[in-house]
Chains A and B, each alone.
Chain A
Amino acid sequence: MFLRLLRASLARGRRRFLLALLALALGSGVAAAALNVALDVGDKLARELRSFGANILILPQADTVPVEIGGVDLRPLSEGSFLREDDLVKLKKIFWRHHILAIAPYLYQQARLADGSTVQLVGTWFAKTLPLDDGTTFTTGLRALHPTWQREGHWPGDAADAEVLLGARLAARLSALPGSELILELPGGQPTRLRVQGIVATGGVEDEQAFVPLAWLQNLTGRAGSVRRAEVSALVTPDDAFAQRAPASMTPAEYDRWYCTPYVSSIAHQIGEALPNTDVRVVRRVAQAESALLIRIRWLMALVSLAALLAAALAMMSTMRAAVLERRREIALMKALGAAGVSLTGLFLTEATLVGVAGGIVGYGVGRVGAELIARTVFGAGVASNLWLGAVVLLLAVGVALAGTLLPLRQLYGYDPATILKET
């Protein structure tokens, strides 16, 4: 009897059923899209913020104080200590290895140009491919660390070739163009020819520098395998009150939690474990700005998703409400014919559940497409699919459908069926 009633009701009210389904699918779909993007946006923006440069710096321990102006170490290579270039691959073996987005080592050397002026040579990786233990490779260097650098010409290679990437001001001073040659002289060395591969304009101190392949500079200076420092760009989670605490003061359980959260401090700590005898520093300006920004954005996105959820729920509720109220004459008639309130409610709620489940499933599909569309437009990359989001959306659709049915039903029960039947 119940099933027959249900079937009949669904068949007769096909238009109404489809309308409710449409509203539910649309509402839950839009909510799903907004939630999906909002959940993913923190990660996307965290990556975006990495273009502000390195947030971790690795220096050799037991060093003399670096004589550093504008990020360049002015000490002669005979002074101070060095990091081993070969050790840097160990960064990709730490617990949070996948959060290490870029590494660039640096070796500095002053050289004299033909006109007698001095130039800062910076030996580094441009896009060096490191083989990893798991058989994959990791390509990193200046290009990965500074994705926004504007370059004219090509990047130099990472072999020990005499190639150079010139800073824009230096290039203008020397009237050098990509393809031209540069002659310079290292202290106590022979004049060397370098081929200008490209020119980079950053507006900063880099405009006065000359970037050369690290291997080439190491060979020329007899410093094979040595680097002065390394900059690391790591994807981090924003610092909270817990992250501010000193690891030494934590209980073992807290320490594990700290260690297994990608805070900038715990990643720096793990780098220190992987590279003993180094001084791993968190670049506080970058780390703090990043943290503050990410926290704000998370809040903003949480708020917007909440608003989307509420608005979706409202839209769906009003449709369900209209659908029930449209049938009040039917309800009154059934009641007048002696139908029990419970079985009536059961019929309507079963219908609502069916609509909710169908709407939720369709809505999740619509939402996935919508999220993909938004993410592609705004970030130029897709979003990760989130299965539990599907469950949330389904629950939302069913919940809203049930609430949207039950509330007006209760209101209708309050009236005498005779009044309703007479009114119409």
Chain B
Amino acid sequence: MFWRLVRRSFWQSQRRTRVALVALWLAAVVSAALLNLYFDARQKVGSELRRYGANMMVTPASVPAAGATELLDESLAADLERAAEGRLLQVLPFLYAVAEVSGQSVVLAGTWLDRAADLRAHAQLSGGWLEDPEDKERCLIGVAVASRFGFEPGHHLTVRYADREKPLQVAGVIRTGSQEDNAILVNLSVAQTLTAAPGKVSVLLGRGEGRPEALDALARALHAKFPGIVVKPLREMAESEARVLDRIQGMLWGTTAVVLLLTALSVLTTMTALATERRREVGLWKALGGSQRGITRLFLAEAALGAVLAGIAGAAPGVALSRWLGQQIFSSQVAIRWMTLPAAIGITLGVALLGTYVALRWVQRLEPAMILREN
């Protein structure tokens, strides 16, 4: 009996319910889109922050004696990445030496140039990059070095360190605005051969994921595993990142809540209007001896049915919308979080039930005779 009533009132009052259904459907779309975007935004913005470069630095633990330099093993780069289990990425080794070119001191930096994607992304390059890690004859030079000595891509130069010399050809000139501008960049093995430090590096730079506390914990864990080294989060990076991310997330949280609130408000008014319009029905039901609880249940069941239908119909387009928006904003796909589908349906359901309940409370105060007479 009850379900027949629900079914009939739901299908027969199509015109009236259409507006409510549209409002509920919009609520589902908006909440699904915003929730899905919200959960991914922190990670997306976080990956943008990676452009700022390394936030972890690895140096030898022991203090160098006067004049001497302590070095690390090159193989540590891979060992650390493995030990960190995905929490430390893009570890690059650097070997620095102060070499001489035409009698002047110039910093020679050796690294895995083929893997230095991050350096390559922000450097302005004229000429070519060193793609081959086995290329031992060519180098990249910073723009200050190029202008000082008049070097251009294709030119040859000789780097001298202690009593060893190495002829190199300039593959490209890079401009970064920071220390690379003053250096000669070569593949790591070239720098190791020249400084007679095979398999050694001065420093490792990497990118840790997580909040400053997580990075501290990671650094301690790695130090415990490799006692010979000190892993340090670059605090300025780590903390600025966490701060920026917190701000953005706070903003998104606030605005998402606002939009959901407004959507709820529109559903609420629509449901109130719907219930008010039906007060004659309520009066008749009451006059025929129907119980208060019966009406409440009928109306709530209708609202729930509508909300679930609208939620199911709206959640999927909402998630699709968030993916499209993610593509527009971050130029990368926003992952679908399946949790957002039930969450969006749940929000729609909650809003619909609340709206109906508030409306009913108002309608129930009316005496059946009053309503019936009024009409």
Contacting pair B107 A311 (CB below 8 A): no
Q: Known contacts being A148-B240, A285-B178, A311-B259, is A293 close to B48, with CB within 8 Å? A: yes
Complex Cα gap A70–B234 (Å): 12
Complex Cα gap A222–B375 (Å): 100
Q: Known contacts being A48-B244, A293-B48, is A311 close to B262, with CB within 8 Å? A: yes
Contacting pair A322 B272 (CB below 8 A): yes
Residues of B within 8 A of A115 (CB): 66
Q: Known contacts being A64-B148, A308-B255, A322-B272, is A204 close to B328, with CB within 8 Å? A: no
- In the assembled complex, how far is the CB of residue A370 from the closest CB belonging to chain B, in whole angstroms? 8
Residues of B within 8 A of A207 (CB): 232
Residues of B within 8 A of A314 (CB): 23, 26, 262-263, 266
Range for the number of chain A residues in contact with chain B: 35 or more
Q: Chain A 317-352, CB within 8 Å of chain B: the 1/0 string?
A: 111011001100000000000000000000000000
Residues of A within 8 A of B258 (CB): 30, 33-34, 308
**In this complex, what residue of A is CB-closest to B181?**
A281
Of A204, A299, A379, the contact of B247 (CB 8 Å cutoff)? A379
A245 at the interface (CB under 8 A from B): no
A378 at the interface (CB under 8 A from B): yes
Contacting pair A69 B49 (CB below 8 A): no
Q: Known contacts being A118-B66, A285-B51, A318-B23, is A48 close to B232, with CB within 8 Å? A: no
Contacting pair A284 B239 (CB below 8 A): no
Complex Cα gap A51–B53 (Å): 14
B277 at the interface (CB under 8 A from A): yes
Complex Cα gap A192–B37 (Å): 59
Residues of A within 8 A of B148 (CB): 64-65
- Chain A binding surface SS class: helix
B370 at the interface (CB under 8 A from A): no
**In this complex, what residue of B is CB-closest to A51?**
B240
Complex Cα gap A284–B52 (Å): 10
B233 at the interface (CB under 8 A from A): yes
Residues of A within 8 A of B53 (CB): 285, 289
A354 at the interface (CB under 8 A from B): no
9-residue interface stretch from A5-13, A37-45, A101-109, A180-188: A37-45
- Residues of B whose CB lies within 8 Å of any CB of A are 19, 23, 26, 30, 34, 41, 44-45, 48-49, 51-53, 57, 63-66, 96, 98, 104-107, 121-124, 142, 144-145, 148, 175-179, 181-183, 232-240, 243-244, 247-248, 250-252, 254-256, 258-259, 261-263, 265-266, 269-270, 272-273, 276-277, 280, 325, 328-330, 375
A-B contact pairs, 19 of them (CB 8 A): A30-B261, A31-B262, A37-B255, A52-B236, A65-B104, A71-B179, A74-B98, A173-B63, A201-B235, A203-B57, A207-B232, A285-B176, A293-B48, A296-B45, A304-B259, A314-B263, A317-B266, A322-B273, A377-B250
A115-B66, A322-B273 are known; give 18 further A-B pairs, CB within 8 A: A23-B265, A64-B104, A68-B179, A69-B179, A148-B236, A149-B236, A203-B57, A203-B232, A207-B232, A283-B176, A285-B52, A293-B49, A299-B328, A301-B255, A307-B34, A314-B266, A315-B263, A315-B265
The 4 closest A-B pairs by CB, nearest first: A322-B273, A311-B262, A289-B51, A315-B266
